[in-house]
């Protein structure tokens, strides 16, 4: 081989603590290395041009770049060598920035280590083989999990782009959390008024198939060709027949059913349509409370339903959809704030969550938009808002900021003043975080125009004063003294966490999630929509806290990723797949059993059972390679011999 | 490549591309200062890290090896690290059997965002390796010769199988023979005191079948060679476990094999028998008592009581009867008591790490790499494509050094993890009597301890532990490290 | 006239100590284990003197299990990195070596090895150097054993072929008789008592040993018979069914001399690359596997045929002697007790019945 | 059943009534409290904030005595003693700390100390709610009680082992088992300010007043305390608190052992009620004979723990 080595200075990032020229000089003595240089910025245009020139001039057939992490620029340099006519896999990187120059200050040790890392890379490269991608067909259809505003936006954008969409929603209606909100910041326009039309569009768009009351059961396949099994939960109502007239819920005798949509601020009937603008506007029976199910007799709804849609015998059913990509938009839930015993741990009826407060504010809520205390129905005079309940609190293992609470607290305080002009509102806050367009102006209005009293400090305790009100004890850290407020109502800005089933879904989608259940994007900065599984994209809060505009933007971004994927008729696989040496294979099937992707099947060659890799399914983990005792399955680009070459270069 | 003298030690890291390599990057981005000893090899997934890479590095001069992958449940490939966890945990238990301090090997989980944790991991591990110092080698370990004790009293009365219904069995075999390509059994070998495998194809061949304590060889080793053909096999209890294991691994089809079984009363340790017989020209005869056999050589009688001359494995045997059979005859023996720690294993257990390195160096020096151990092993199914003598992959050289030889034993033992039934054929086949069975017993014990007392070769439908995983492992507590 | 000396059992350590001043001594050493073995090892003072037949023949002294033939290093011209210099370093090693107390069959093994390695069109320099520095002291056998058959193949319990000194146990000690010049020289400076007086006792002991052997069948026709059976696949298959294809028979054989050549390491590394010669095993499928993957001898029966034919047919054709000296290690070392004697006798019988 | 017992210094002075009632109630429950011989102060003076090791040496000596007695568990009525003893046991796990403390002691402390637990926890472990109910002779059904643990009893959570430090419930459990109406008293773990009783009298008065006011507003018949210092503070300084709060308080502050003793039909003298500054007579008036000796089992009958 004829190998060229480029030891990047990265300005002073590397050269500050590594003698790059010396590393290049040492590299010249490595086997097959015929050229070495130490450019200032290898990744910059002149640096890349120099690599191309060297490939031509020195007839290189392999290149090693010692610079930053391959996770940063491997793709860049692969394209560089490809432009110069080399196969992109005849390239290796030595990470001498993140793994050397940035973590140690001793130049001698760093220089030595860099040279060794280059040596490993050369050793590996000498065992590299050119690899070529294979092409395969694509199913041009998108599946979206979650019908909140992010999922709705992604669905509409995909469908508008001509790509059929399957939208799967766990609840009986789409709309997500946004549908529960009264008004939205910073414009204070009605949430239902701006979301409603989009929901209707979803229902009416011919390119969108909506499965509500449905969940993902199984996912198999790979980018371009996923097969998704969807569980349609039994609603006990034939939605083909249901007209959404609501006659059933009017007559339903089981009126003490907890109202999930209203965040348990009221009760509803066992058969109901969650809210008037629900899409699909279809009734659902809550079997836990329906007398037909709990007592075995009732049947009132079946009698009154003019369409004859009630079907108590309904079972869960399944449907399988073939799609080319999947967008996860499963949103969030509020954390269980009742672990805060100092706020009563849920024992005090007038200490409520901000989302419950939204339902109290909403004209379609249980109180018709009147702010009253859940305990006695009286209008509160003093309301205390406590921010960061379950956010930025390391003591309960939740260090992250939930992102939008500062803004909605300001909004709720403003709306409170609108509803109850005589009322006084206090907001306990840690910091006000309002970095959006018109956001800070909005929160200032709460203080300046609406007279909301902002107190910088945490609340140490909330307790009933025995006379029907609540004592809110806290600290004003600006004044440096304790504060005690008698409040009629306390609203907690409860922090968010990922949807309960997010980890289970992540495992089905083979994507990663963090310890709070939020899905992991492929790169925090540069790939915020992609995941580590090709063809699975993220939208909305399932990826991390964000407000409505950001969720909508990410929904559109995910749709753009889907549309870009489908802009091609054929896809190329990553050729870093496992290969079977049929001669070595004894057909024991251990690899088949281990493969996380079902990418290995059994085949027969001359009447002997052999393993066979489906290259388009193989994701290149190499588990099979370390499982096969005789080394018959080798992962291209990470073969036993390639890794052994690296080990041998280090240990001899 | 030499390390920086007196400053660095050789520490090799295998990091998965997605989490831990990213975590190391994150640490770099955060300028989290770390010791400079570690050299990172990037692999796609911790599941790609064949434990043999680690042994290879440690035997080749690495002072420490660190594997890091995504946290359980976070694997980029969904389950690679679950498999890795089992395999690496088994390795961690196994290394001391070789005489390698398993503190020199660690595996852990670091996510791409945990730069700080990565810094802690590297710092702590490097400190640990520096505390341990440079790894001692095998080639220059002082010589140490030790031999295993004889096993304690057997769990069942041992005998010579004199009263076993051999004639009825022959009749049964003859009845089935027309449908079978052959029936594998034992016949008299080069003299009365030795047996050799019998491949009966004709009824008169069946008459050559013998039964008794000389039938030490495990004939299951031949079954995969008849793949696709219908064959019969006569088994002892231990042999039947090998058959079960082959069935479990799809190397033999259940419908293709007819298993004939008699209850085993124990087999002789031919190494010791031959030693006692010494040099002789001819065997004058062999007489079977109930619990002993008498061999006459050159006119001199030698008495071998089963109690004294049975193989160690027979004394600890809990399955004298086949665990799976089609034709079964004879009375069931009564097994009482728990299997003791096998003697070869007890011998290893009684040594410290230094002694074990010395022991293996002393033992391995006389290995000729004839691979009788491998080829006699019914579970060595790679056959002609064993990685020990392949160039691609190129795990081993032809060099005759102790580390190469010991590395082969490691390959064999690790490949047998969860598969070895303890039949002992490897050790019995060794012409120079190297007590290599201890390594297999060690790993089988580890597998049992880690995976709910799993024993290989009991249930053809069982999932072998290293081909499966639990999301929460009951007996692996890898996360307690830091 | 050969030198004849006498040594008491107690005198042997001193004798070996004296020899070890100038030479490496390879002497049998016992390796205790469940299955005990006896291995030739570098002898040093304090080690017991063992006279048992070794489990492994002393072939390693001239044909090591693995030897580095030479190392090769490449270095780059600092001014022009494409200009690479190659430096070879010959590693043929030959220090004076005495094998003590091998058996006549072992010694005859050297005679078998000498032919292809020294007497063919090319003498092997590595072998030659070692062989020239080797002195073989053989202890004659007092009896045969259940697996050995030296007298079938031209040897015997006191066969001198390949030995420099024959040593025979008699009452009260050992008679050492030089068979070659080298042996004579060694004995003359060995500081041992004269043994001519008791030499007759030694001769008597050797005769007794011969007489104790069971009569040997005639296998002179083996070369032709085996050649005639070459295409009789069934014969070879029947005799190979139990074979495990391991290397116990060949690696423990004093006459097997096939080798493999591999390169290890890297020419640019400090240690350089190593060209290795190591024993090869014709019973393994790898022996004949070609680079293409094709293998003319995939079946173990064909490999067994090769081994038997080489020892009893083709080698004799080329060199006029069997390349088997009847030590019987392939029988005693075989994990499944395959018996080469039976194969040869059956071949002769089968050829006769075919004819 | 015998229990090793560390009364603490208050028991011999300011909280003699706590001690008296504890002994009496434990006797009823069949808990024989055996005082460890030659015990000394637990170091719960301001000293422990000044010199941890010296304070730990004091505790270690007590724990060592208990260890020499061979007891497994040591009971103490006082939360402050409990806190100090437990903190010491925890700190002594650190070998360096232990070495420094050992230097201060005549003999090195025993390697293993017995576990220390409060009398309250000890009672709950000794018998379940039904067990307690079986001793009831007086009906407390007319009593509304505000359980008050004080700030020390449940904090820090990992040392004191009282469940949620903001919302312990063990005392409620015992009082309910005795048949009283128990308030969900929000300030049950709030500070009464007792430790600043001398340097910051106003603050102490303010903090105490907060608790007294809430109990009064919640119509409690009594505050039930578990800490000698709290009890003394809330009872003895009630006029000061009332003055600070510009209110009138007449809130009896009893120990939980006294309440239990009343339920068990013990006489006020036996329980040391005469020592209260705010009389409990109103409370005594509400007691009625238990309707029947064999009470119906308390719901579930489970342990309070």
D contact chains, 3+ CB pairs < 8 A: A
Q: What is the pLDDT of residue B1?
A: 45
Task: Cite the residue boundaries of each domain of chain A with CATH code 3.50.50.60.
Answer: 142-233+316-331+499-566, 334-497
Shortest Cα distance, chain B CAs vs residue A512, angstroms: 5
Q: What is the pLDDT of residue D293?
A: 52
Residues 332-391 of A with CB under 8 A from D: 341-342, 344-345, 347
Shortest Cα distance, chain B CAs vs residue A591, angstroms: 9
Q: What is the pLDDT of residue D301?
A: 45
Facing residue for A640 by CB, picked from B31, B36, B393: B393
pLDDT tops 50 at residue B215: yes
Taking CB atoms and an 8 Å limit, are C342 and B190 in contact across chains?
yes
Q: What is the pLDDT of residue D300?
A: 46
Residues 283-302 of C with CB under 8 A from A: 293
Facing residue for B189 by CB, picked from C65, C270, C337: C337
Question: Is D91:D59 a contact under the CB 8 Å cutoff?
Answer: no
What superfamily in CATH does domain A142-233+316-331+499-566 come from? FAD/NAD(P)-binding domain (3.50.50.60)
**Helix D16-29 to helix D119-126 angle, to the nearest 10 degrees?**
10
> Across residues C277-281, what is the average pLDDT?
95
pLDDT tens string for chain D (305 positions)?
A: 889 999 998 898 889 999 999 999 999 999 999 999 999 988 777 667 788 888 899 999 999 999 988 888 899 999 999 999 999 999 999 989 999 999 998 888 888 899 999 999 999 999 888 889 889 999 999 999 999 999 999 999 889 989 889 999 999 999 999 999 999 999 999 999 988 888 888 999 999 999 999 999 999 999 999 999 999 999 999 999 999 989 999 999 999 999 999 999 999 999 999 999 999 999 899 888 876 554 454 544 445 54
CATH class label, A3-125: alpha beta
Q: What is the pLDDT of residue A166?
A: 98
Taking CB atoms and an 8 Å limit, are C81 and A35 in contact across chains?
yes
Cβ–Cβ contact A313 with D under 8 A = no
Residues of D in contact with A461 (CB under 8 A): 166, 186, 190
For Cα atoms C305, C307, C312, give the angle at the middle one, nearest 5 degrees.
90
pLDDT tops 80 at residue B11: yes
pLDDT in tens, A532-559: 788 999 999 999 999 999 999 999 999 9
Domain residue extents for chain D: 2-120, 128-290
Shortest Cα distance, chain A CAs vs residue D296, angstroms: 29
Cβ–Cβ contact C235 with B under 8 A = no
Mention every residue, 6+ apart, whose C-beta is less than 8 A from residue A155.
A142, A144, A147, A165, A167, A202, A205, A208, A559
Q: What is the pLDDT of residue B186?
A: 97
Taking CB atoms and an 8 Å limit, are A119 and B1 in contact across chains?
yes
Shortest Cα distance, chain A CAs vs residue B10, angstroms: 8
Could you tell me whether strands A62-67 and A3-7 are parallel, antiparallel, or unpaired per DSSP bridges? parallel
Taking CB atoms and an 8 Å limit, are D187 and A341 in contact across chains?
no
pLDDT tops 90 at residue C84: no
Mention every residue, 6+ apart, whose C-beta is less than 8 A from residue A356.
A263, A264, A265
Shortest Cα distance, chain C CAs vs residue B133, angstroms: 24
Cβ–Cβ contact C341 with B under 8 A = yes
User: How many angstroms separate the CA atoms of A604 and C320, rounded?
Assistant: 50
Taking CB atoms and an 8 Å limit, are A461 and D219 in contact across chains?
no
What superfamily in CATH does domain A334-497 come from? FAD/NAD(P)-binding domain (3.50.50.60)
Instruction: Kindly identify which residue of chain A lies nearest to residue D219, measuring between CA atoms.
Output: A466
Q: What is the pLDDT of residue D288?
A: 83
> Across residues C230-234, what is the average pLDDT?
93
Instruction: Kindly identify which residue of chain A lies nearest to residue C270, measuring between CA atoms.
Output: A652
> Across residues C143-169, what is the average pLDDT?
95
User: How many angstroms separate the CA atoms of A422 and A450, rounded?
Assistant: 11
Question: Is D115:D75 a contact under the CB 8 Å cutoff?
Answer: no
User: How many angstroms separate the CA atoms of A18 and A29, rounded?
Assistant: 18
**Rounded mean pLDDT of chain B?**
93
CB atoms within 10 A of CB B332: 10
Q: How is domain D128-290 classified at the CATH fold level?
A: Rossmann fold (3.40.50)
Shortest Cα distance, chain D CAs vs residue A400, angstroms: 24
**Helix B402-415 to helix B353-364 angle, to the nearest 10 degrees?**
110
Taking CB atoms and an 8 Å limit, are B41 and A98 in contact across chains?
no
For Cα atoms B51, B53, B57, give the angle at the middle one, nearest 5 degrees.
120
Question: Is A209:A166 a contact under the CB 8 Å cutoff?
Answer: yes
pLDDT in tens, B112-121: 888 899 999 9
**Tokens, residue A111:** 């220089």
Domain annotation for chain B: domains and CATH numbers = 11-132 (3.40.50), 166-328 (no CATH), 343-461 (no CATH)
pLDDT tops 60 at residue B2: no
Domain residue extents for chain C: 4-354
pLDDT in tens, C163-181: 999 999 999 999 999 999 9
Taking CB atoms and an 8 Å limit, are C269 and A652 in contact across chains?
yes
**What is the four-CA torsion angle of C22, C27, C31, C36, rounded to 10 degrees?**
170
Bridge partner residues of B309 (DSSP): none
Task: Cite the residue boundaries of each domain of chain A with CATH code 3.40.50.
Answer: 3-125
Residues of A in contact with D187 (CB under 8 A): 463
Mention every residue, 6+ apart, whose C-beta is less than 8 A from residue A119.
A27, A30, A649, B1
Could you tell me whether strands C259-264 and C37-42 are parallel, antiparallel, or unpaired per DSSP bridges? unpaired
C-alpha distance across the termini of chain C, in Å: 50
Cβ–Cβ contact C189 with B under 8 A = no
Shortest Cα distance, chain A CAs vs residue D20, angstroms: 33
> Between chain D and chain A, are at least 3 CB pairs below 8 A?
yes
**Tokens, residue B398:** 């032809």
Residues of C in contact with A34 (CB under 8 A): 81-82
Shortest Cα distance, chain A CAs vs residue B82, angstroms: 11
Cβ–Cβ contact C230 with A under 8 A = no
Taking CB atoms and an 8 Å limit, are A341 and D184 in contact across chains?
no
Instruction: Kindly identify which residue of chain C lies nearest to residue A60, measuring between CA atoms.
Output: C82
For Cα atoms A605, A608, A609, give the angle at the middle one, nearest 5 degrees.
90
Taking CB atoms and an 8 Å limit, are B467 and A104 in contact across chains?
no
User: How many angstroms separate the CA atoms of A647 and B62, rounded?
Assistant: 9
> Between chain A and chain B, are at least 3 CB pairs below 8 A?
yes
Q: ω into residue B334 within 30 of 0, thus cis? A: no
Edge to edge, the sheet with strand A208-211 lists: A208-211, A165-168, A142-145, A325-328, A536-538
> Between chain D and chain B, are at least 3 CB pairs below 8 A?
no
Determine the length of chain A: 652
**D2-120 — its CATH code?**
1.20.1050.140
User: How many angstroms separate the CA atoms of B175 and A537, rounded?
Assistant: 65
Task: Identify from B398, B412, B428 which residue to disrupt to test chain C contact, counting C C-beta atoms within 10 A and taking the largest count.
Answer: B398
**Helix B80-98 to helix B51-59 angle, to the nearest 10 degrees?**
30
**Tokens, residue B335:** 């097994």
**A578-636 — its CATH code?**
3.30.70.20
> Across residues A630-637, what is the average pLDDT?
96
Q: CA B341, B347, B352, B354 torsion: positive or negative?
A: negative
Task: Identify from A104, A631, A638 which residue to disrupt to test chain B contact, counting B C-beta atoms within 10 A and taking the largest count.
Answer: A631
Which of B61-75, B346-360, C163-177 is least confident?
B61-75
């Amino acid at each position: 081989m004829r190998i060229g080595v480029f030891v990047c200075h990265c300005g002073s990032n590397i050269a500050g603590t590594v003698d790059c020229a010396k590393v290049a000089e040492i590299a010249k003595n490595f086997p097959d290395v015929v050229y070495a240089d130490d450019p200032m910025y290898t990744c910059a245009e002149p640096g890349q041009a120099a690599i191309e020139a060297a490939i031509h001039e020195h007839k290189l057939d392999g290149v090693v770049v010692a610079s930053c992490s391959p996770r940063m620029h491997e793709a860049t340099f692969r394209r560089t060598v490809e432009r110069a006519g080399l196969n992109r896999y005849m390239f290796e990187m030595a990470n001498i920035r993140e793994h050397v120059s940035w973590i140690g200050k001793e130049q001698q040790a760093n220089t030595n280590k860099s040279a060794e890392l280059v040596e490993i890379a050369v050793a590996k490269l000498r065992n590299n083989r050119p690899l070529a991608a294979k092409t395969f067909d694509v199913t041009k259809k998108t599946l979206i999990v979650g019908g909140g505003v992010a999922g709705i936006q992604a669905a509409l954008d995909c469908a508008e782009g001509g790509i059929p969409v399957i939208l799967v929603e766990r609840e009986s209606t789409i709309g997500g959390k946004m549908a529960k909100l009264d008004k939205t910041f910073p414009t204070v326009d009605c949430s239902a008024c701006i979301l409603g039309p989009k929901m209707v569009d979803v229902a009416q768009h011919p390119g969108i198939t909506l499965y509500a009351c449905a969940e993902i059961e199984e996912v198999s396949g790979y980018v371009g060709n996923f097969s998704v099994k969807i569980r349609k939960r039994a609603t006990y109502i034939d939605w083909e027949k249901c007209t959404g007239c609501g006659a059933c819920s009017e007559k339903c005798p089981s009126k003490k059913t907890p109202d999930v949509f209203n965040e348990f601020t009221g009760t509803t009937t066992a058969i109901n349509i969650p809210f008037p603008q629900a899409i699909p506007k279809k009734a659902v029976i809550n079997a836990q409370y329906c007398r037909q199910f709990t007592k075995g007799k009732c049947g009132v709804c079946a009698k009154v339903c003019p369409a004859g849609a009630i079907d108590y015998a309904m079972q869960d059913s399944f449907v399988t959809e073939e799609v080319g990509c999947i967008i996860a938009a499963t949103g969030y839930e509020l954390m269980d704030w009742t672990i805060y015993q100092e706020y009563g741990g849920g024992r005090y009826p007038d200490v409520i969550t901000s989302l419950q407060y939204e339902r109290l504010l909403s004209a379609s809520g249980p109180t018709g938009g009147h702010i009253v205390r859940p305990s006695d129905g009286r209008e509160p005079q003093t309301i205390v808002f406590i921010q960061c309940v379950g956010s930025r609190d390391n003591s309960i293992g939740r260090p992250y900021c939930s992102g939008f609470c500062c803004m909605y607290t300001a909004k709720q305080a403003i709306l409170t003043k609108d509803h109850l002009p005589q009322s006084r509102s206090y907001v306990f806050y840690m910091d006000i975080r309002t970095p959006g367009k018109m956001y800070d102006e909005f929160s200032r209005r709460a203080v300046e125009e609406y007279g909301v009293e902002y107190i910088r400090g945490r609340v140490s305790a909330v307790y009933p004063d025995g006379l029907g009100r609540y004592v809110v004890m806290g600290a004003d850290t600006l004044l440096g003294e304790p504060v005690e407020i008698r409040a009629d109502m306390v609203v907690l800005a409860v922090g968010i966490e990922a949807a309960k089933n997010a980890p289970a879904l992540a495992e089905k989608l083979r994507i990663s999630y963090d310890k709070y259940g939020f899905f992991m994007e492929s790169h925090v900065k540069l790939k915020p929509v992609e995941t580590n599984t090709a063809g699975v994209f993220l939208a909305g809060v399932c990826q991390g806290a964000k407000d409505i505009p950001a969720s909508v933007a990410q929904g559109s971004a995910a749709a753009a990723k889907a549309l870009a994927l489908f802009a091609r008729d054929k896809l190329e696989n990553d050729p870093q797949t496992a290969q079977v040496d049929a001669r070595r294979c004894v057909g024991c099937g251990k690899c088949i059993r281990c493969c996380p992707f079902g990418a290995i099947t059994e085949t027969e060659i001359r009447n002997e059972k052999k393993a066979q890799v489906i290259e388009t399914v193989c994701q290149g983990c190499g588990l099979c390679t370390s499982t096969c005792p005789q080394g018959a399955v080798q992962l291209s680009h990470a073969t036993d011999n390639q890794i052994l070459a690296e080990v041998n270069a280090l240990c001899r | 490549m030499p390390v920086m003298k007196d400053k660095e030690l050789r520490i090799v890291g295998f990091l998965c591309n997605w989490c831990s390599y990213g975590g190391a990057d994150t640490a770099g981005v955060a300028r989290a200062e770390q010791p400079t000893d570690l050299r990172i090899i990037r692999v796609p997934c911790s599941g790609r890290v064949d434990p043999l890479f680690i042994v290879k590095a440690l035997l080749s001069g690495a002072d420490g090896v660190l594997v890091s992958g995504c946290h359980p449940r976070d694997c980029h490939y969904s389950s690679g690290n679950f498999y890795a966890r089992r395999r690496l945990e088994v390795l961690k238990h196994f290394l001391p059997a070789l005489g390698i301090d398993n503190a020199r090997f660690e595996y852990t989980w670091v996510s791409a965002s945990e730069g700080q944790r990565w810094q802690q991991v590297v710092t702590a591990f490097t400190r640990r390796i520096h505390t341990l110092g440079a790894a001692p080698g095998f080639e220059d370990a002082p010589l140490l010769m030790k031999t295993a004790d004889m096993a304690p009293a057997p769990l069942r009365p041992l005998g010579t199988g004199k009263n076993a219904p051999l004639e009825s069995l022959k009749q049964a075999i003859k009845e089935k023979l027309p449908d079978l390509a052959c029936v594998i059994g034992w016949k008299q070998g080069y003299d009365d005191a030795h047996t050799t495998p019998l491949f009966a194809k004709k009824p008169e061949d069946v008459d050559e079948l013998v039964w008794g304590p000389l039938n030490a060889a495990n004939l299951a080793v031949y079954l995969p060679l008849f793949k696709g053909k219908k064959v019969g096999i006569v088994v002892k209890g231990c042999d039947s476990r090998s058959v079960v294991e082959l069935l479990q691994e799809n190397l033999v089809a259940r419908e293709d094999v007819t298993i004939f079984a008699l209850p085993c009363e124990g087999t002789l340790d031919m190494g010791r028998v031959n030693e006692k017989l010494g040099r002789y020209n001819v065997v004058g005869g062999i007489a079977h008592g109930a619990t002993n056999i008498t061999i006459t050589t050159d006119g001199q009688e030698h008495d071998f009581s089963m109690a004294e001359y049975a193989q160690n494995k027979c004394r600890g045997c809990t399955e004298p009867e086949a665990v799976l059979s089609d034709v079964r005859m004879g009375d069931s023996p009564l097994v009482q008591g728990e299997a003791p720690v096998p003697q070869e294993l007890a011998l290893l257990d009684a040594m410290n790490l230094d002694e074990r390195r010395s022991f293996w160096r002393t033992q391995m020096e006389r290995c000729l790499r004839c691979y009788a151990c491998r080829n006699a092993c019914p579970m060595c199914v790679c056959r002609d494509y064993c990685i020990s003598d392949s160039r691609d992959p190129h795990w081993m050289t032809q060099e005759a050094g102790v580390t190469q030889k010991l590395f082969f034993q490691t390959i064999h033992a690790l490949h047998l993890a969860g598969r070895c039934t303890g039949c002992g054929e490897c050790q019995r086949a060794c012409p120079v009597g190297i007590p290599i069975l201890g390594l297999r017993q060690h790993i089988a014990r580890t597998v049992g301890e880690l995976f709910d007392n799993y024993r290989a070769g009991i249930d053809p439908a069982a999932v072998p532990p290293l081909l499966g995983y639990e999301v929460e492992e009951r007996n692996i507590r890898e996360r307690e490290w830091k | 006239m050969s030198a004849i000396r006498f040594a008491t059992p107690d005198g042997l350590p001193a004798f070996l100590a004296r020899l070890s001043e100038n030479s490496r001594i390879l002497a049998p050493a016992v390796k205790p284990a469940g299955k005990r073995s006896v291995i030739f090892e570098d002898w040093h003072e304090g080690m017991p003197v063992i006279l048992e037949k070794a489990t492994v023949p002393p072939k390693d002294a001239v044909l090591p299990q693995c030897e580095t033939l030479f190392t090769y290093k490449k270095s780059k011209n600092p001014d022009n990195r494409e200009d690479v210099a190659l430096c070879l370093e010959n590693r043929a090693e030959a220090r004076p070596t005495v094998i003590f107390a091998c058996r006549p069959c072992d010694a005859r093994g050297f005679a078998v090895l000498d032919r292809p390695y020294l007497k063919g069109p090319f003498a092997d320099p590595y072998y030659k150097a070692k062989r020239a520095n080797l002195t073989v002291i053989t202890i004659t056998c007092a009896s045969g054993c259940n697996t050995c058959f030296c007298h079938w193949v031209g040897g015997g319990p006191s066969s001198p072929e390949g030995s420099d000194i024959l040593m025979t146990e008699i009452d009260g000690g050992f008679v050492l008789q030089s068979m070659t010049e080298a042996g004579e020289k060694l004995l003359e400076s060995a500081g041992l008592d004269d043994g001519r007086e008791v030499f007759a006792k030694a001769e008597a002991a050797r005769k007794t040993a011969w007489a104790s052997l069971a009569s040997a069948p005639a296998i002179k026709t083996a070369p032709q018979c085996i050649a005639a059976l070459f295409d009789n696949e069934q014969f070879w298959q029947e005799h190979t069914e139990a074979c495990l294809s391991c290397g116990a028979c060949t690696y423990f054989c004093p006459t097997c001399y096939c080798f493999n050549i591999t390169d290890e390491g890297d020419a640019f590394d400090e240690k350089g690359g190593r060209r290795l010669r190591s024993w090869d095993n014709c019973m393994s499928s790898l022996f004949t596997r070609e680079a293409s993957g094709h293998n003319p001898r995939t079946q173990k029966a064909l490999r067994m045929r090769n081994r038997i034919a080489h020892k009893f047919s083709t080698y004799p054709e080329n060199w006029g002697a069997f390349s088997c000296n009847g030590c019987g290690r392939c029988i005693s070392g075989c994990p499944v007790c395959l018996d080469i004697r039976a194969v040869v006798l059956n071949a002769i019988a089968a050829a006769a019945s075919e004819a | 059943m015998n229990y090793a017992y560390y009364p603490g210094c208050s028991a011999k002075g300011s909280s003699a009534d706590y001690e008296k009632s504890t002994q009496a109630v434990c006797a009823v429950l069949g808990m024989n409290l055996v005082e460890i011989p030659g015990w000394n102060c637990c170091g719960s003076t301001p000293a422990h904030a000044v010199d941890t090791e010296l304070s730990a040496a004091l505790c270690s000596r007590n724990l060592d005595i208990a260890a020499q007695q061979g007891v497994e568990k040591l009971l103490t009525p006082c939360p402050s003693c409990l806190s100090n003893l437990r903190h010491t046991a925890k700190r002594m796990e650190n070998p360096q700390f232990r070495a420094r403390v050992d230097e201060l002691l005549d003999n090195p402390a025993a390697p293993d100390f017995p576990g220390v637990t409060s009398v309250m926890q000890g009672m709950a472990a000794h018998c379940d709610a039904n067990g307690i109910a079986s001793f009831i002779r007086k009906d407390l059904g007319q009593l509304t009680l505000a359980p008050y643990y004080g700030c020390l009893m449940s904090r820090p959570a990992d040392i004191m082992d009282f469940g949620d430090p903001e919302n312990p419930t063990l005392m409620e459990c015992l009082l309910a088992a005795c048949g009283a109406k128990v308030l969900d008293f929000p300030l049950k773990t709030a500070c009464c300010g007792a430790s600043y009783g001398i340097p910051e009298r106003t603050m102490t008065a303010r903090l105490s007043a907060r608790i007294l006011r809430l109990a009064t507003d919640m119509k409690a018949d009594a505050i039930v305390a578990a800490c000698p210092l709290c009890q003394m503070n809330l009872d003895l300084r009630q006029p000061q608190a009332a003055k600070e709060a510009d209110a009138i308080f007449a809130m009896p502050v009893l120990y939980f052992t006294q309440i239990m003793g009343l339920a068990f039909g013990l006489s006020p003298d036996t329980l040391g009620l005469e020592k209260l500054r705010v009389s409990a007579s109103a409370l005594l008036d509400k007691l009625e004979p238990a309707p029947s000796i064999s009470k119906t089992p308390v719901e579930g009958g489970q342990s309070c723990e």
